[in-house]
Amino acid sequence: MSGIWFPISCLNVSHYVDSSSSLGFTKKAEKLNGRLAMIGFVSLLAIELLTGKGIIAWITSL
């Protein structure tokens, strides 16, 4: 198995799901959005470091 191994057990999505109906800019939604943005940004940096190309150049060369 190649690539990065990521344990599925750390993705406890039920921690972020609540039965209460709260829409809009809540504290929980903003935290989750910020965390996902940080993961995306680090992923883009990793792709650029590993391939030597930016994300657009990497995608167009596939």
pLDDT digits (tens, 9 = 90+) for 42-61: 999 998 898 888 888 888 88
Rounded to whole angstroms, how far apart are CA atoms 7 and 51? 24
Predicted model pTM: 0.56
Q: Model confidence over 3-53: pLDDT tens digits?
A: 566 555 566 666 666 666 677 788 888 999 999 999 999 999 998 898 888
The contacts of residue 39 (CB under 8 Å, 6+ apart) are none
Question: Contact, 7 vs 19, CB < 8 A?
Answer: no
